[in-house]
Structure 1
Amino acid sequence: MLSNFILSTDYLSSLISFIGAILQKHAVYSAIAHNRGFSDQSYFCREFKELSGFTPSEFRHLFSDVGF
């Protein structure tokens, strides 16, 4: 049911920020993690996969040509 699917503005803002950073072809995942407040790259990658269903590398490969 769509009525049970509510996203906070903080969640959406974080997701959009992650997506934008991941799609930058020359961005390094450790720098993205650090800039987003994660203490290490592995934790960032796990959280990103939980949010998106993809690892950052998979996401970048699949969606880099979409043009966010």
Structure 2
Amino acid sequence: MLALARKINQSIMIGSDIEITLLEIKGDQVKIGINAPKSVPIYRKEIYMQIQDENKKASEGEIDVEVLNKLFSGKA
């Protein structure tokens, strides 16, 4: 992990198109701003982990290939 020290209104760049700016510090809370292309999804880690768990649960279900074939062939 890379650890960087920044002051309020200072930024770091990730690649050439993602900028993270330190906006505010209040007690033990830090507010950051993220400027990134709309194609880059940005989530809080706890939300990202929930999404991953739900995707994993969804992928564990059995798939009935015959039913899928009928759906895609229009014979369902």
* TM-score, normalised relative to structure 2: 0.23
The answer to which structure has the higher helix fraction is: 1
Question: Which protein has greater RCO, CA pairs closer than 8 Å, 6+ apart?
Answer: 1
Relative to the length of structure 1, the TM-score reads 0.24
Which has more strand, going by share of residues? 2
Higher Rg of the two aligned structures: 2
